[in-house]
Structure 1
């Protein structure tokens, strides 16, 4: 259709002022007679107003009017139309279904919904168009609003739209690069490999000079660039730096987890505020993304350009996305490695535990066989009994360490704190450890203050700390060696050091020795066994006392020193001397009647034999129901009850015995392998008077018997 020449100024036939760019002129000069809209003079005021507003807008818009949704559009919408815009006579005023026939199945329902009164919004909607002579896949964001005529009825649709193909393609490209990085690092087993692949792919995609990553020291300033990908000819930035030297802009952003963005170092930074450092390593533009954990900057990844560069929002978003993906992947790799390491150490621990528990069983079994076949040999009985006693003590020590670790890990250790002297703690620890030290042929030297050094703590646990350190030194020192214990006071702390001439510790293992189940590499043949939990137990117990423990060593083969620091007790007057440890082992009363119940027949019978040897009248049973029945006839003064018995457990048996009026004064003793505070509370609630850990020592049994003996008149 031919177009009429346009005239400047107001067109009374059109009803709105001249303007609207090229399309405004086209609309005013267009012959509308043969279109569904009809001549301009017949257009309702509502259509004229909508058309005028649309033509004056700079954003792509169109108006679809009337039952056939005849199309009007502005200059900006011509870009959406493509080559179709070159022939306006085939588009202006024509039905939308004809102009955009290829997408009518998508757009038709949208326009119908708007004509029914709905306002719609779509973002990045995909379309397949034929607008430039070939098929194109595009994306568009748009909103549609109903236009009402003079009567208030909906007569048309106003659409504000924009093509977003470029933006979506950039997003897709970014996603493709994340995918590439993910595939390249999928099988990577080390963080360094992940970063090498990621920096290369990111640097090549952005066409930059260099991509580097660094990790920070705990001081939140010193950082090390471990690796950088760079284009040929660019210098490497690998090395150690101070973050403060890069100026206030870098530090203020990175230390709080905000991306550092600089387009032109020389123009944006002042001299003396970082510009010199950036220039020194050839950086004129940078995007640097930080990783902050628990308020500390721990790592950074940066994109460098040796010339000024105006970074786009999409480029910044891409770098941030890649960095997020890298950190997440590295965390997964580290978590997986930590799980593997934990599993490996658990397996090693179980194997060591089996080995350590079997070791004492062999001499015990041999001693039993020798007693059976040669009991009449002079001195054999005493030697074999000594062997069995030592080996049982070793097993009890192993099990006690395991239970202590379990209690500490679950927060169930309660310290029995009292005023105690460092000297008494050291004496107790030496008494416990001296047999092992002497058996290994080592010399032990003590250098303690002459005046008492007072601590507030659990004497038994503190002695355990020092004993474990002495035992550890004896195990890992080749024969003959020297172990030196020194103690002093510094700044309100007692400082105890245990130094040996043993196998030493490599620098990288100084912290690892305190971890659960840790043993020095290649030390199994040198040490005298153990589960690798002694030093872990030491650290936990020292921490519970408000102190600290550290390890130091000049290196492998050069010995080591373990230093414990504990807070001194506040000064107190009238300190009683020699009252920290008093063992009270009273003899049994011959008239005591004792009932034993344990489903382990050997355990029940041997305890019964021990009690008889102590002068008691004893009856032995093997489950809870038997114990209750026997008690009614035996009328015991004291009952030892195993907790884990079949048919009726120790708790049930205790409640049943407490319900018998004839046994109102009986004393009940719980025998169990569980010794945490809540375990003791549970036995107390069930009516027990005493709680003994298996295997109970003869001294512990004697103390219980003494407490049950009637008072002498």
Structure 2
């Protein structure tokens, strides 16, 4: 503080009006830097009083004094102006609440007519907003550049949280994803200042109180300046304090009406967040999510491509496995070197292998139908114990071959469920088959069922290979075999469990996997609603009549039309050996020509023939005279629901998938006999 200030007391009203009503900052000081006058705009910007600054050296005033380096720069600019130079600088200044602002200020000498410096004028404009915009753009550009070339989500999170945290000077910046239950969230990554606690882990959103949940679940940014003052005791304050948060900005991402992710800025002391800071966090979050979703989409595509490649390799492996013994068996039959008993074993082996291939193909068809929503459930109220019994009976050979001990624990009372019995038996069969494959020989497999209030719960457990904790959900993904390797692969296409989950969803139920870890066995739990009302059985339209008669009973005239000559010739040979009168056509037009003179009682038509497909052939056959009682059977590899509907519309009585089992062929013959009268 100088000993005395030179007299300066302008009284001109025009001067005072101009000086005080100016929109820019203005101050007047003596050549040695003592402030003698200051306008209203300068005082208001710093939230200071005239008596606190007039009569003090300019650099000692509160605008600059909180920073010794800044005060030194102001003093240096003042001395340059006192020497006759005009100096312009962009300088920080401080309000009385310590908030940092910026000014574009000019120090200019005011001289008399002789050129002697009488005063120094300091004039400027507030550029805080401009500087904030520039800093915000630089930050967003830096984040954009850092994340543009990132190839994984973690790298994006790490760089974005660091840049944002350092820019805002906060304690922590964290990124979290919501778990499927839409309650728990997992903080995947957080940036912290040195010494601050990391919050990476899994949390329940409800633990942070009603204010957090009510804001975030609807996509509204959560803003808290002081946890202890703004939150009621017991309503989230404890959790915030436990992880060192006194102030927070948390931006949510809501998609499809559900909260899916969050990014949060944490401060370990109370902080009055500004509108600019909140807008900056929201802008960073928006950019990060766009990059993260891009990277995750790319990762998903790579993963899907990898799964597809693995699936195709597995499919080739699985189809080659049965083809090898079938090929060997055919060679043995050709050579005729074995006894009749040995040939019987060869034929049984070949039958098993063909059935295995049919099972693989049916799984593929089923997963395609479920994925496209084309499976129609034929539901009925059934006792789940009957469904379990059917699944166990079907899979018993696969369970007994490795010497597994199977235990079935069912209650005495009925467990009524409203299900498609065939599909639910398929669900349990897939779980039993899975347990058999992944349990070492002589293992234990337990099937149990019970009622829990309004649900029926079925568990299939084993003491086999087990599942790592982080793979419990992955086992239900398409084409996945967890821990797949040449040594550990147990066969199958990796779609069985995916099919189980999708079929359970169609029934309004669920399936979950549990395991204590690799080598600790696993348990799959099915949950279904308890049936409330009895439901009449809806019989499948393509169910064949019971096989009351065999292939060789009552000779029929049978027309076979298929462009696959081997398929047509072998079926014709089978029927001819059984005593039927047969004809073969290798396309639809030839079939129509034969039918005119042959007048078949039964026709097997492939649907995908050239020239004239099976649908059109069927329609034209129905239009021919004397064909009113003709039994038409589609024998095809096309088995989707729309294929079946088209077949019915074209006039087919039945729809069989290749290869048709002997029982299905016999049932078609029985239908033809029935229609022939």
Q: Does the TM-score normalized on the shorter chain lie above 0.5?
A: yes
Q: Following the alignment from structure 2 to structure 1, what is the Cα–Cα distance between the partners of residues 256 and 675?
A: 63
Choose 233-242 or 585-594, whichever is displaced more. 233-242
Q: Following the alignment from structure 2 to structure 1, what is the Cα–Cα distance between the partners of residues 564 and 274?
A: 78
Identify if the C-alpha distance between structure 1 residues 327 and 583 changes in structure 2 by more than 3 Å, giving closer, same or farther: same
Cα offset for 1:256?
A: 3.7
Cα offset for 1:348?
A: 0.7
Q: Following the alignment from structure 1 to structure 2, what is the Cα–Cα distance between the partners of residues 249 and 287?
A: 13
Correspondence 1:587 to 2:556: no
Per-residue deviation, residues 224-278 of structure 1 (Å, max 9, x unmatched): 6555434446565667777667666555544543334455667766777767776
Cα offset for 1:573?
A: 12
Q: Following the alignment from structure 1 to structure 2, what is the Cα–Cα distance between the partners of residues 273 and 491?
A: 32
Q: Following the alignment from structure 1 to structure 2, what is the Cα–Cα distance between the partners of residues 331 and 174?
A: 23
Corresponding residue of 2:66: none
Correspondence 1:203 to 2:203: no
Unaligned runs of 5+ in 1: 9-17, 25-55, 61-74, 78-131, 137-161
Corresponding residue of 2:18: 22
Correspondence 1:369 to 2:331: yes
Q: Following the alignment from structure 2 to structure 1, what is the Cα–Cα distance between the partners of residues 563 and 662?
A: 20
Cα offset for 1:330?
A: 2.0
Q: Name the SS of the counterpart of 1:532 in structure 2.
A: coil
Identify if the C-alpha distance between structure 1 residues 706 and 218 changes in structure 2 by more than 3 Å, giving closer, same or farther: closer
Identify if the C-alpha distance between structure 1 residues 301 and 427 changes in structure 2 by more than 3 Å, giving closer, same or farther: closer
Q: Name the SS of the counterpart of 2:156 in structure 1.
A: helix
Correspondence 1:600 to 2:564: yes
Corresponding residue of 1:114: none
Corresponding residue of 1:537: 499
Counterpart contact for 1:262–1:286, Cα < 8 Å: yes
Pick one of 628, 635, 638 that aligns with 2:592: 628
Q: Following the alignment from structure 2 to structure 1, what is the Cα–Cα distance between the partners of residues 583 and 514?
A: 57
Give 1:106-121 correspondences, 5 Å limit: none
Counterpart contact for 2:380–2:536, Cα < 8 Å: no
Counterpart contact for 1:587–1:702, Cα < 8 Å: yes
Q: Following the alignment from structure 1 to structure 2, what is the Cα–Cα distance between the partners of residues 248 and 482?
A: 48
Q: Name the SS of the counterpart of 2:550 in structure 1.
A: coil
Higher relative contact order (CA 8 A, sep 6+): 2
Give 1:643-662 correspondences, 5 Å limit: 643-662=607-626
Per-residue deviation, residues 349-387 of structure 1 (Å, max 9, x unmatched): 111111111111111111111111125633233122112
Corresponding residue of 1:420: 382
Cα offset for 1:395?
A: 0.5
Q: Following the alignment from structure 1 to structure 2, what is the Cα–Cα distance between the partners of residues 174 and 290?
A: 20
Identify if the C-alpha distance between structure 1 residues 173 and 700 changes in structure 2 by more than 3 Å, giving closer, same or farther: same
Cα offset for 1:695?
A: 1.0
Identify if the C-alpha distance between structure 1 residues 602 and 166 changes in structure 2 by more than 3 Å, giving closer, same or farther: same
Per-residue deviation, residues 302-332 of structure 1 (Å, max 9, x unmatched): 3344565544332322222112222222222
Identify if the C-alpha distance between structure 1 residues 221 and 342 changes in structure 2 by more than 3 Å, giving closer, same or farther: closer
Q: Following the alignment from structure 1 to structure 2, what is the Cα–Cα distance between the partners of residues 481 and 233?
A: 51
Corresponding residue of 2:401: 439
Unaligned runs of 5+ in 2: 1-9, 26-38, 42-85, 91-123, 538-542
State TM-score, norm by structure 1.
Answer: 0.71
Pick one of 233, 240, 263 that aligns with 1:301: 263
Correspondence 1:334 to 2:334: no
Corresponding residue of 2:471: 509
Identify if the C-alpha distance between structure 1 residues 267 and 516 changes in structure 2 by more than 3 Å, giving closer, same or farther: closer
Identify if the C-alpha distance between structure 1 residues 455 and 295 changes in structure 2 by more than 3 Å, giving closer, same or farther: closer
Corresponding residue of 1:102: none
Counterpart contact for 1:475–1:526, Cα < 8 Å: no
Per-residue deviation, residues 551-575 of structure 1 (Å, max 9, x unmatched): 2222211222223233344476999
Cα offset for 1:585?
A: 4.0
Correspondence 1:357 to 2:319: yes
Cα offset for 1:531?
A: 0.6
Pick one of 288, 291, 294 that aligns with 2:253: 291
Q: Following the alignment from structure 2 to structure 1, what is the Cα–Cα distance between the partners of residues 208 and 381?
A: 54
Q: Name the SS of the counterpart of 1:645 in structure 2.
A: coil
Cα offset for 1:636?
A: 0.8
Choose 342-351 or 163-172, whichever is displaced more. 163-172
Identify if the C-alpha distance between structure 1 residues 163 and 651 changes in structure 2 by more than 3 Å, giving closer, same or farther: farther
Give 1:232-631 correspondences, 5 Å limit: 232=194, 250=212, 252-263=214-225, 285-295=247-257, 297-305=259-267, 309-374=271-336, 377-450=339-412, 452-522=414-484, 525-570=487-532, 583-588=546-551, 589-631=553-595
Counterpart contact for 1:59–1:76, Cα < 8 Å: no
Identify if the C-alpha distance between structure 1 residues 633 and 693 changes in structure 2 by more than 3 Å, giving closer, same or farther: same
Identify if the C-alpha distance between structure 1 residues 497 and 232 changes in structure 2 by more than 3 Å, giving closer, same or farther: closer
Counterpart contact for 1:356–1:529, Cα < 8 Å: yes
Cα offset for 1:621?
A: 1.5
Counterpart contact for 1:585–1:699, Cα < 8 Å: no
Give 1:127-142 correspondences, 5 Å limit: none
Corresponding residue of 2:114: none
Counterpart contact for 1:375–1:381, Cα < 8 Å: no
Identify if the C-alpha distance between structure 1 residues 226 and 482 changes in structure 2 by more than 3 Å, giving closer, same or farther: closer
Q: Following the alignment from structure 1 to structure 2, what is the Cα–Cα distance between the partners of residues 422 and 306?
A: 57
Cα offset for 1:279?
A: 6.5
Q: Name the SS of the counterpart of 1:171 in structure 2.
A: helix
Q: Following the alignment from structure 2 to structure 1, what is the Cα–Cα distance between the partners of residues 596 and 613?
A: 18
Give 1:170-185 correspondences, 5 Å limit: 170-185=132-147
Q: Name the SS of the counterpart of 2:219 in structure 1.
A: coil
Q: Which has the larger radius of gyration?
A: 1
Q: Following the alignment from structure 2 to structure 1, what is the Cα–Cα distance between the partners of residues 383 and 210?
A: 53
Correspondence 1:188 to 2:150: yes
Pick one of 587, 609, 630 that aligns with 1:666: 630
Pick one of 642, 661, 665 that aligns with 1:678: 642
Cα offset for 1:638?
A: 0.9
Per-residue deviation, residues 450-503 of structure 1 (Å, max 9, x unmatched): 555443322222221222122111111111222222333342443332222211
Q: Following the alignment from structure 1 to structure 2, what is the Cα–Cα distance between the partners of residues 233 and 595?
A: 85
Q: Following the alignment from structure 1 to structure 2, what is the Cα–Cα distance between the partners of residues 58 and 306?
A: 38
